[in-house]
Structure 1
């Protein structure tokens, strides 16, 4: 079975990027988070990479790591609703931006169509 890199839906603090990388590498997510913090303090680059990955990486489907021992109820529930709201808000904003881009492209095409 092919392993894929996803944002974790179970092991996340902000967007699930570190949890997803940890699941992909099969290491503890705390090690990945500590590494990101240390590199961010030293260089500042990982925060930009984290934001980029949060936008690019797809969300983990509910079946992605079913056999890896990461259970549905392993992560604490505190703050999960707030993060899910944040994820749904990001999805809504991405869809809105895509719709606006489609309208903009239609307007551009209509200008050339009229020539």
Structure 2
């Protein structure tokens, strides 16, 4: 039996692929995970911090991780490998930039509360 590992999803992602990766690991629908994260964030605000932490810590899934798990019932077409590497590096750069911006925004928000 193949060992299950927790990765950020490359195929099922909206922002960083954390919810998609958790859903795949738990073998459930990613929409349910996303809805749960949104509800908990609205109620408590804590999951957004956990999400950002997981986005930095969780490794990206390797390209081969979905082979043989029952999700290969459709044809996938990918760009050439060199173009895919360029896209991956650009996405990585944009993800890091978005994460840095979110951290700065959170620091500003926390600074407001500290000064109160």
TM over 0.5: yes
Q: CA deviation at 1:91?
A: 7.8
Deviations 1:5-45 (A, max 9, x none): 00000000000000000000000000000000000000000
Question: TM-score if structure 1 supplies the norm length?
Answer: 0.64
TM-score where L is the length of structure 2: 0.64
Map of 2:31 onto structure 1: 30
Q: Identify which of structures 1 and 2 has the higher relative contact order when contacts are C-alpha pairs closer than 8 Å and 6+ apart.
A: 1
Superposed counterparts of 1:1-115, under 5 Å: 1-71=2-72, 84=88, 87-89=91-93
State the superposition RMSD in angstroms.
2.7
- How far off its partner does 1:85 sit? 6.0
Gaps of 5+ in 2: 77-83, 98-116
Structure 1's 91 and 19: CA in aligned 2 closer, same or farther, altered over 3 A? closer
Which protein is bigger by CA-based radius of gyration? 1
Question: How many residues are matched?
Answer: 86
Cα gap change, 1:73/1:37 in structure 2, threshold over 3 Å: closer, same or farther? farther
Q: Relative to 1, partners in 2 of residues 1:46 and 1:11: Cα closer, same or farther, differing over 3 Å?
A: same
Alignment check: 8 A CA contact 1:15 1:87 kept: no
